[in-house]
Amino acid sequence: MLETIQSINSTVNGIVWGPPMLILLIGTGILLTVRSGFLIQIRKFGTVMKHTAGSLFGPDAHKKGESGVTPFQAVATALASTVGTGNITGVATAITIGGPGAVFWMWVSAFFGMMTKYSEVLLAVKFREKNERNEWVGGPMYYIEKGLGWKWLAVIFAVFAAVASFGIGNMTQSNSIANAVNQVAGVDPLITGLVIAAGTGIVILGGIKRIAQVTEKLVPFMGAFYVVLGIVTLVMNITYLPEAFKLIFWCAFDPTAAVGGAFGYTVMLAIRYGFARGVFSNEAGLGSAPIAHAASNTDSPVKQAFWGAFEVFFDTFVVCTITGLVVVSSGMWSSDLQGTSLTIAAFGNSVGALGEWGITIATILFAFSTILGWSYYGEKAIEYLFKGTSIVGSIKLGYRLLFVVMTVFGAVGSLTLVWDIADTLNGLMAIPNLIGLVGLSGIVVKMTKEHFSKN
């Protein structure tokens, strides 16, 4: 049975993540970047950082309203799902399959992905609406329906998002936690899965406000924890960093010359897995994070969209880069290890037990926060599909309960199969969202230029 599922998924994955998808993914970011005149990533990058990282303790970031959550709680929920095991397991997997050059292509995808995610958040806030509980709701399904007038495509996105939440935001996360805890502490994956399920249920049954309250405290702590751990490890490996950077750049364009032909790395593999794992990590183009941002009490779509660009920058250029440099500089990227096991071994090789336990703790924090964020995304997709019906409440409760149960299945499942299915679902979810972004790119460019001309 598993072999049949793997075979079907492999066929679909080859189509979804083939050259046409990669062109659509990076092409959308390039289109939006060029049409906006490189405003977000280059010309107004300082402004973006000032209104995001520079305003973390300011009143605007914590503005409360009658409904929804504060702008910072919205970005914390989005970052909770963005900064996940893709930063630990995904980066290691990309390097294992695509070689060190995959890190370079992650950077490329992130540069254009900053504008892609900025656009998603802007449109989500612009086209959002109030639900029956007076909460703001929005996301690709709303801006595709209200902006393009294509409800059929909006429904397709919502279906894929609801299903994808069980992959990228659930099973892959619990799987990574279970593997990390088992490797370092020898705990049975089933026991870990049951503990994860209990913790998840306690939080998500309280809805978006409880999720936001947890993530706004969890995200800053886990981000700072991983960055400090990474910097300490890189300092220990500082003599190997020049060679690591050289491998990353050489393998991005000529892996055979850099590491020889024995490993089987190709430029296409580096590009494919650099983009795929990069998107899995920073979620630019998937259309997931805008669902959280739409719940914000902000009164400015553009200012909230700055946080979308910041998410991609922090996730990939900071967190993923730390992971990639540690793995490559350790020299263990060419071993038989993969996923979380490779990252744990790479950190452990440099700083011993501190690295092993540090990555285990980071994996638990990253993965659990992602589970919380994605439970909200999936629920909002379900809410959109059944809005206006008398059974929407029961369907949402059923979804929450099923979501909790699936964390247990993810913990005891196959790492390779779980990640492959998540990759496929990511691609299927991204397609309708990217179509929406291209179709509404004119609105994004107009609102962005108007904002900067007035400010």
Residues 174 and 193 sit within 8 Å (Cβ to Cβ): yes
Residue range 350-355: average pLDDT?
82
Would you say residue 206 has pLDDT above 90?
A: no
Gyration radius from the chain CA atoms: 20
Residues 320 and 91 sit within 8 Å (Cβ to Cβ): yes
Structural domains of the chain in order of their starting residue, each with its CATH number: 2-454 (1.20.1740.10)
Would you say residue 149 has pLDDT above 70?
A: yes
pLDDT at 259: 59
Q: Which has the closest alpha carbon to 122: 301, 299, 283, 294?
A: 301
pLDDT tens-place string over residues 228-270: 999 999 998 899 899 999 989 988 887 765 555 545 567 778 8
> 199: how many CB neighbours lie within 10 A of its CB?
16
pLDDT at 444: 96
pLDDT at 153: 96
Share above pLDDT 90 across residues of the chain, in percent, rounded to a whole number? 38
Question: Rounded to whole angstroms, how far apart are CA atoms 100 and 349?
Answer: 18
Q: Which of 19-28, 54-63, 390-399, 404-413 has the lowest mean pLDDT?
A: 54-63
Greatest CA span in the chain, whole angstroms?
64
Q: Which has the closest alpha carbon to 403: 380, 374, 433?
A: 374
Residues 158 and 385 sit within 8 Å (Cβ to Cβ): yes
Q: Which of 48-52, 128-132, 265-269, 303-307 has the lowest mean pLDDT?
A: 265-269
Residue range 91-105: average pLDDT?
87
* More confident position, 331 or 316: 316
Q: Which residues of 2-30 are buried (b: 16+ CB within 10 A; e: fewer)?
A: eeeebeebeebbeebbeeebbebbbebbe
Would you say residue 91 has pLDDT above 80?
A: yes
Q: Give whichever of 219-223, 289-293, 294-298 has the largest mean pLDDT.
A: 289-293
Share above pLDDT 70 across residues of the chain, in percent, rounded to a whole number? 92
Residue 290 Cα distances to 116, 197, 271, 375, angstroms? 11, 26, 26, 14
Residue 136 Cα distances to 127, 140, 159, 219, 380, angstroms? 10, 14, 20, 22, 11
Predicted structure pTM score: 0.87
Q: Tokens 């795929």 correspond to what residue?
A: 276
Would you say residue 88 has pLDDT above 90?
A: no
Sequence-distant (≥ 6) Cβ neighbours of residue 14 within 8 angstroms: none
Q: Where residue 447 falls among pLDDT bands split at 50, 70, 90?
A: very high
pLDDT at 66: 54
pLDDT tens-place string over residues 406-439: 999 888 876 667 667 777 877 888 899 999 999 9
pLDDT at 438: 95
Would you say residue 61 has pLDDT above 70?
A: no
Would you say residue 292 has pLDDT above 90?
A: no
Q: Which of 276-280, 282-286, 353-357, 368-372 has the lowest mean pLDDT?
A: 276-280
pLDDT at 121: 95
pLDDT at 448: 95
Would you say residue 179 has pLDDT above 90?
A: no
pLDDT at 12: 82
pLDDT at 119: 97
Question: Rounded to whole angstroms, how far apart are CA atoms 207 and 211?
Answer: 6
Would you say residue 107 has pLDDT above 70?
A: yes
Collapsed DSSP state (helix, strand, coil) of residue 137 = strand
